[in-house]
Amino acid sequence: MDSHIYGVSKKTLFLFAILCLSVSSISALPHQNKAGNSTGTGQMINSNSVLVALLDSHYTELAELVEKALLLQTLEEAVGKHNITIFAPRNEALERQLDPEFKRFLLEPGNLKSLQTLLLFHIIPQRVGSNDWPGHKSNPSRHTTLCNDHQHLITQNSGKKLVGSAEVTRPDDVIRPDGVIHGIERLLIPQSVQEDFNRRRNLRSISAVLPEGAPEVDPRTHRLKKPEPPVRAGSPPVLPIYDAMSPGPSLAPAPAPGPGGPHHHFDGESQVKDFIQTLLLYGGYNEMADILVNLTSLATEMGRLVSEGYVLTVLAPNDEAMAKLTTDQLSEPGAPEQIIYYHIIPEYQTEESMYNAVRRFGKIGYDTLRLPHKVVAQEADGSVKFGSGDGSAYLFDPDIYTDGRISVQGIDGVLFPEVEKESTSFKKSVSSVKVATTNPRRAWLSSRD
């Protein structure tokens, strides 16, 4: 006979405890997505993340190594906890200045740990901008990297900034809310990886980095070529685009300096005219062009933003999708503007950059000009799908217009934020007296013309 505790046998209590532990352990496991990757908390990465910027930047060789080293999940977790600083070698340093034997050593499957250590040696788990470097009279600052090694930041008397022994050639090259990327002249190699490579080769005198060649000489002037200036024409404005859209005079530089042209600045009005004309000539997007030019003053607004140095990506619904809009959705004051604002991303994205991002990270949240709503993108059927459920839209006509400042991507549906979808379905299910509510957020637009 089993002994009882308050009328319940000990065997029953023991089985109940095992069941509770099993359920809690199963719920604690990370979820798996369709690709088999662990998603942890299931949070999607923002399109404005420094990781997305790295994979879509001109540091293509470093981005490929990060993917081959299977470090995306590790870096996502690091970005989720704190800001990061990435020291990115230029492509030439990884293509031509790296010993081919050392590169083969890194890419061998058995040396994955060495490759991961090498790449994490270039990342600091905190934000270190160019202004945070120590002065030339100060002692070098010591920072711990993601591989638990250390990097020393130094400023020479000439003003050059160094990371270890590598010169920083592009300080603050990429700045994002969760991190910053500095371009450096060559690869940084931790001592442990160098020793592992030398141990495999049994040659301790072999250096992983080839010596630099002779200085480049300009054949026209027979003088040494000067390095590129750190600040290039056409750098993004200091203010966020939402501050430039606020009522009243804009504080952003207008017009922003451009890389070329007779006026040496961005001509946003001409660029907006070009992309609207392209929509009309492309065919199937007449309704979108009509809203931008005639129904609202958004064309003027977009031209001003581009002139001030901002970049925009327009998700343009085609005429078939626009024809499905009801009178109720367009009749409320400010409704056309709010619909279009949700289709404008304050970033420059192409079909390739968006597809690469969703392929690598699963889901991407793009900021829109309709704060605080985001457009969620994910990979579906070999393309990019925006939104979810019945209100989703696919990338239908990619790269209709791309000029480096404005990108237009054709989609086959009109997108609405999740909150608005719920309110729209509620209006359809309940037939009552309709009360129109005005949204004063963009009322100043109409008075600007």
Whether the pLDDT of residue 375 is over 70: the answer is yes
Query: Which residue in 207, 225, 208 sits closest to 216, CA to CA?
Result: 225
User: Which pLDDT score, from 0 to 100, does residue 431 have?
Assistant: 41
Per residue in 291-318, pLDDT tens?
Answer: 998 878 888 889 888 888 889 999 999 9
Per residue in 75-107, pLDDT tens?
Answer: 998 988 889 999 999 888 888 778 888 888 888
Say how far apart CA 168 and CA 134 lie, in whole Å.
Answer: 14
**How is residue 91 written in tokens?**
């492509």
pTM beyond cutoff 0.75? no
- Supply φ then ψ for residue 333, to 5 degrees: -60, 130
User: Which pLDDT score, from 0 to 100, does residue 29 have?
Assistant: 43
Whether the pLDDT of residue 27 is over 70: the answer is no
For residues 155-170, give the mean pLDDT: 91
* 202 pLDDT tier (thresholds 50, 70, 90): low
Q: From residue 448, how far is each of 47, 242, 292, 301, 420 by CA, in Å?
A: 31, 17, 15, 9, 27
Say how far apart CA 374 and CA 81 lie, in whole Å.
Answer: 22
Q: From residue 414, how far is each of 102, 120, 137, 139, 319 by CA, in Å?
A: 51, 42, 58, 57, 10
120-124, 269-273, 386-390 — most confident range: 120-124
Please state which of the ranges 24-33, 187-196, 280-289, 349-358 shows the lowest mean pLDDT.
Answer: 24-33
Q: What is the DSSP letter of 270?
A: H
Please state which of the ranges 38-52, 181-195, 394-408 shows the lowest mean pLDDT.
Answer: 38-52
For residues 258-271, give the mean pLDDT: 69
* 213 pLDDT tier (thresholds 50, 70, 90): low
Q: Regarding predicted confidence, which is higher, 237 or 288?
A: 288
